[in-house]
Structure 1
Amino acid sequence: MLIERLQGKNIGNWMDKGKALVVIGPRQVGKTTLVRQISQSLGRKTLWLTGDDPQTRAMLDNVSLGRMQTIIGQNEVLVVDEAQRFTNAGLMLKLITDHIPNIQLFVTGSSSLDIASQTKENLTGRKIEFHLYPISFAEMCAHHGYLRERSLLEHRLLYGYYPEVVAQDPPQAQKILADLSDGLMYKDLLTLDQIKKPSLLVKLLQALALQLGSEVRYYELAQTIGADPVTVERYIDLLEQSFVVFRLPSFSRNARNELKKGKKIYFYDNGIRNAILKNFAPLELRNDIGALWENFLIAERTKRNAYSDHACNSFFWRTTTQQEVDYVEEANGMLYAFEFKWNPNKSGSFPKSFSELYPNSQIAFVDRDNFEQFVNPMGR
């Protein structure tokens, strides 16, 4: 099943402009498939080098310019797939962009543990970076129609949007997600020898999954899983760099009672979160529907912003007296505040204190009857 990805057009707009085109994101979200589609459409001689192949990694370990030129030969397009698995990936890519300028370079990576730090240092001004996420609501609407996708909303809240999962029935989806969650947790982290105690990582992921939508404190997490706060923070850093989870900071303009260092942690995909907890019970039997809805909306908004090049800062807002706004965006000097409700018939109120502190902000409620504009790349 071929699903057209919105990021494909964005990547195409930067072809042949002297830039390395770097596609990063979680494993198994379709980075390699997307780059293969784009490269095949060019009709040019293409060389693929994959970091998942030990022989290729050994061949390119500390490679010289002359050796690299020989390897590339007459190819016009070079794809370096899973680049984070190459030793000194950033230096190798800099060598190519600096000294072999007539080739179009594509790079994919499923972890920023190596690739982001190295490419930021070595490819400054030489690359354009694109984030690819699990398939979005908007992409599925374009694929098989709005009405069809809208009817699958409960399924998406439970099983998410990984490409292998979107067309599967629940039993198959659960099996795929179980395999994916194990791979996402361990493959790059253990390969790079970053995680010394995998059992702690599992406990941490379970604790984060249970605290979805709640403010996270490293000290409390450490007590829960039997670790120290420094280890908890480092493991969360690694999980974020591996695109398993992402942090949402608290918004503050230094009002006395605003939280200034608060944070929430969300999963890029609902299905992965539910697989970690091994809980795929239907919505009517769950007590976490609010958290699932919140994670779904914020993950979809993240995709929407990335694919539409909507530059903004994202936050939640809370006071010491427990006044809260689920999601706040700051863009072009404006504040946009959103409260999430699963049930459109349930009355909701917006914190008066937020409106008083930020009287020029725009506020809106997002529920399952009107969420499309919030997650649509064409919406504000």
Structure 2
Amino acid sequence: MFDSLVKSPTSMSRREEYLREIISSYLFKDILVLEGVRYANKLVRLLQLLTFQIGKNVSVSELGRQLGMSKNTVDRYLDLLEKAFVIYKRSGFSRNLCKEVTKNQRWYFFDNGIRNALIGNFNPVDLRNDIGDLWENYIVTERLKRQEYLRQTTNFYFWRTYDKKEIDMVEERKGNLYGYEIKWKSVPVKVPKDWRENYPDAGFEVIHRENYLGFIYPNLST
């Protein structure tokens, strides 16, 4: 789904099988065995919980409560999965304004195909009720890859206030700020008042299906 890392298998059924093999061999053999993880089912369950929290603030304490694990153990598992390039995190952006949320983090998958395999859902996009999560994960991840490829030093964040005003992705480049809302459909989006007032020089743009190509591909302009 959305440019999975799996390129060689041609049929959809073979791709699905290949992704399941990656989870069973890579996750269980390489990560669980080599890193000495004792509870395989809880590691997979942790990833499954994260699949439904794309673009949302994640509380490690709440994850621990749902898994019956300590916060320190959850932190260790998250760190392990991040080092294995299964998931990665973004923190909240703030210039020390009291209304801005920075405590929690948001987690994304390096590949949507792995996310789909974890929840056993390979339906086409028109049959998905999680299309917003898939799209945001795809755009954020491909943008990160683009900036790395172009060697453009960029800090990535999200922005959210305690009264639930938010921007999906914030980039800090060469001292300048750029805010991006990520939408599956092209719909009007107002710039949050607090963002506009506190960061009047920051850019703001909505990324959707009609304008995303230049945002994620290095050979096209942003």
> TM-score, normalised on structure 2?
0.94
Indicate the SS of the match to 1:296.
helix
Note the 1:227-242 alignment, pairs <5 A: 227-242=69-84
The question of whether the paired residues in 2 share the 8 Å contact of 1:164 and 1:176 is answered with no
Note the 1:101-116 alignment, pairs <5 A: none
Specify the alignment match of 2:99 in structure 1.
Answer: 257
2:123 to 251, 269, 281: 281
What is the rounded CA distance, in whole Å, between the counterparts of 2:183 and 2:218 in structure 1? 21
Q: CA deviation at 1:291?
A: 0.6
The question of whether the paired residues in 2 share the 8 Å contact of 1:184 and 1:244 is answered with no
What is the rounded CA distance, in whole Å, between the counterparts of 2:59 and 2:67 in structure 1? 13
Highest RCO, 1 vs 2 (Cα 8 Å, sep ≥ 6): 2
1:180 to 22, 33, 39: 22
1:333 to 167, 170, 175: 175
Specify the alignment match of 1:199 in structure 2.
Answer: 41
Structure 1: any 5+ residue segments left out of the alignment?
Answer: 1-155
Q: Which residue identity does 2:5 align to in structure 1?
A: Y
What is the rounded CA distance, in whole Å, between the counterparts of 2:92 and 2:24 in structure 1? 30
What is the rounded CA distance, in whole Å, between the counterparts of 2:81 and 2:35 in structure 1? 14
Specify the alignment match of 1:353 in structure 2.
Answer: 194
Q: Which residue identity does 1:241 align to in structure 2?
A: K
What is the rounded CA distance, in whole Å, between the counterparts of 1:233 and 1:333 in structure 2? 31
Q: CA deviation at 1:181?
A: 2.1
Q: CA deviation at 1:338?
A: 0.4
What is the rounded CA distance, in whole Å, between the counterparts of 1:355 and 1:180 in structure 2? 44
The question of whether the paired residues in 1 share the 8 Å contact of 2:171 and 2:179 is answered with yes
Note the 1:312-327 alignment, pairs <5 A: 312-327=154-169
The count of corresponding residues between Structure 1 and Structure 2 is: 221
Matched, 1:369 2:210: yes
What is the rounded CA distance, in whole Å, between the counterparts of 1:187 and 1:299 in structure 2? 25
What is the rounded CA distance, in whole Å, between the counterparts of 2:189 and 2:208 in structure 1? 11
> TM-score, normalised on structure 1?
0.56
What is the rounded CA distance, in whole Å, between the counterparts of 2:14 and 2:177 in structure 1? 42
Matched, 1:164 2:8: yes
The question of whether the paired residues in 1 share the 8 Å contact of 2:91 and 2:158 is answered with yes
Indicate the SS of the match to 2:88.
strand
Q: CA deviation at 1:356?
A: 1.0
Indicate the SS of the match to 1:339.
strand
Structure 2: any 5+ residue segments left out of the alignment?
Answer: none
**Which has the higher Rg, Structure 1 or Structure 2?**
1
Q: CA deviation at 1:194?
A: 3.3
After superposition, the C-alpha distances for 1:42-72 in whole angstroms (9 at most, x for unaligned) are: xxxxxxxxxxxxxxxxxxxxxxxxxxxxxxx
